[in-house]
Amino acid sequence: MDTLFKGVTAVTMSEQDGGVIKDAFVGVSGGKISYVGREIPREPAASVIEGAGKVLIPGLINAHTHLPMAFLRGYADDSPLREWLYDHVFPAEAKLTDRAVEICSRAGIAEAVSFGTTSVSDMYSHLDSIFKAADEAGIKYSGSNGAIYFGEESDFGFETCADTVNMRGMHLKWHGVDGGRLRFDASIHAEYTSSYPLWEAVAEYAINNGLRVHVHLSETKKEHEDCLTKYGLTPAQLLDCHGLWKNGGIAAHCVWLTQEDASLLARRGVSAVHNPVSNQKLGSGTADIAMMRRLGVNAALGTDGVSSNNNLDLFEEMKAACLLAKNKERDPAAMSALDALKMATVCAAEAQGRQNECGKIAPGYDADLVLVDFDRPHLTPCHSVISGLVYSARGSDVVMTMVRGKTLYKDGEFLTIDWEKTKYELAHEVMPLVFA
Ligand SMILES: [Zn+2]
């Protein structure tokens, strides 16, 4: 056995009630969880981690973000949406180079890992640079390039559209690298940034290559209603007509989803990814997650980009998801802490198509593990570990993050990312390039 967590409180998520085991032993061998139980395992361990006062959880999964947007943290906040996007965010992003995106990605990954995130579903341009950063950092990464197409429908061609050519290139280069730690998802950015020839090209490519899709869906009321006016269908219905949901995947936001839309996503095996903090910050509305879950939609959690959040802390998202659902339904039982924790672990793993490898602490699963220090004033006393994780804990309570048995972050130190170098490059390369 490589590593043994001793005397820890394990929240395994392998039972419907969360499967909390106090004074547990959790063993890791060859990157996998090899032992979970109350008895000390017979096999000796090369390294023992004392778990008293700490809670071991499955690595959290951020099912929708834009990692490189770390460089926009706090930039032009509180502006009206159109002005924020067109006068600030888009012009800043237009100045990014491959090199700048690689630096920003490393910064984003460092933040995610320090907050206990072990797997990310991401959408951005300069995707090769992000894959490179994720490959080196050791995090699980499902990347997509968010294809757009504003040309004439009759002019569209797979070989002449930069984003479909890029889709194929990224798929062939990165999908399945390191035993599937890195994956490529087919993607369109959203209904309103493209038209049917692109949807059909991406859908066909996804089906032929067994890829999932990643799409922004019905994030704002305007986008949802403009689609209804233009096509007589909701974005979910319209994209379904063009085959985009056939292989399952991720629909991010779903703020304005109707009940019919939700039933459609449930039938197609498409997961809705709730981004509660971003939706509130941008004034987009509140996704009806309770309704979607009642209709059988797998719902997961995401942070969206740092520019609209302004961090990658999934502990904050879990709490925000609960508070919003309770407020929306005027019912404190509308969403429980356990529901939120499932959305950030088992349900998010399913959204990524990784449900057989992560999201739980169980023998045979990858050792994607996070240790949370509960020996802190804001976590004392602890009547319920799950309530503590969702309502009281924060990302900064994480003291160790491990992916496939490899420690990426421990006690404030990054083991696979040179944080001092990244910080320097962000300040001395990216900031002058974009904002000078
Ligand atoms: Zn997004």
Residue 436 lies in a domain: no
Ligand 1 center–CA 352 separation, angstroms: 16
- Looking at residue 141, its pLDDT comes to 98
Q: Are residues 327 and 399 located together in one domain of the fold?
A: no
In this structure, the answer to whether residues 208 and 189 fall within a common structural domain is yes
Name 424's Cβ contacts closer than 8 Å, sequence gap at least 6: none
Domain termination site, one of 352, 369, 396: 352
Residues 238 and 252 in one domain: yes
* Joined tokens for residue 264: 């459609």
CA of 252 to the centre of ligand 1 (A): 7
Residues of the chain below pLDDT 70? none
Give the distance (Å) from ligand 1 centre to CA of residue 281. Answer: 13
- Centre of ligand 1 from the C-alpha of residue 115, in Å: 19
- Cα separation of 187 and 202, whole Å? 7
State the distance from the centre of ligand 1 to the C-alpha of 107, rounded, in angstroms.
Answer: 18
Mark out the alpha helices in 153-220 (DSSP H runs): 162-174, 177-180, 196-209
351 CA to centre of ligand 1 in angstroms: 15
Distances (CA, A) of 234 to 98, 176, 227, 255: 35, 33, 6, 12
**Domain presence at residue 434:** no
Distance 272 CA to ligand 1 centre (A): 12
Query: In this structure, are 348 and 394 located in the same domain?
Result: no
What is the distance in A from the centroid of ligand 1 to the CA of 303? Answer: 8
The end-to-end CA distance of the chain, in Å, is 52
| 422 lies in some domain | no
Centre of ligand 1 to C-alpha 278, Å, is 9
Q: Look up the CATH number of the domain holding residue 329.
A: 3.20.20.140
Spacing, Cα 96 to ligand 1 middle (Å): 18
Residue 192 lies inside a defined structural domain of this protein: yes
Residues 341 and 408 in one domain: no
**Structure tokens given for 393:** 């804990």
Distance 402 CA to ligand 1 centre (A): 26
pLDDT digits (tens, 9 = 90+) for 10-59: 999 999 999 999 999 999 999 999 999 999 999 999 999 999 999 999 99
pLDDT computed for residue 75 by the predictor: 96
Q: How far is the CA of 428 from the centre of ligand 1 (A)?
A: 27
According to the model, what pLDDT value does residue 436 have?
87
Q: Are residues 110 and 94 in the same domain?
A: yes
Instruction: Check: CB of residue 351 under 8 Å from CB of residue 63.
Output: yes
Residue 220: inside a domain, yes or no? yes
Centre of ligand 1 to C-alpha 385, Å, is 31
426 phi, psi to nearest 5 deg? -65, -45
Report pLDDT for 80.
87
Does residue 13 sit in the same domain as residue 124?
no
284 belongs to a structural domain: yes
In a domain, residue 231? The reply is yes
Q: How far is the CA of 65 from the centre of ligand 1 (A)?
A: 6
My answer on whether 266 and 283 are in the same domain is: yes
Give pLDDT, residue 364: 98
Same domain, 27 and 14: yes
Residues 108 and 227 in one domain: yes
Looking at the structure, tell me whether residues 395 and 303 fall in a common domain: no
Round to whole Å and give the CA distance between 127 and 145: 6
Domain span at residue 95? 60-352
CA of 284 to the centre of ligand 1 (A): 12
289 CA from centroid of ligand 1 (Å):
17
Measured in Å, residue 73 CA sits from the centre of ligand 1 at 15
User: Quick check: 77 and 283 in contact, CB under 8 A?
Assistant: no
Spacing, Cα 129 to ligand 1 middle (Å): 18
Output the pLDDT for position 319.
98
Rounded distance between C-alpha atoms, residue 176 and residue 57, angstroms: 26
CATH number for the domain spanning 15: value is 2.30.40.10
Ligand 1 centre and the CA of 147: distance in Å? 13
Q: Is the dihedral of CA 326, 313, 430, 132 positive or negative?
A: negative
- Is there a single domain that holds both residue 233 and residue 211? yes
Show Cβ contacts of residue 343 under 8 Å, excluding neighbours closer than 6 positions: 274, 299, 300, 301, 318, 321
In a domain, 96, yes or no: yes
Distance (Å) from CA 304 to ligand 1 centroid: 5
Give the chain's domain count. Answer: 2
Residue 294 is which amino acid? R
| Secondary structure class of 142 (helix, strand, coil) | strand
pLDDT recorded at residue 207? 97
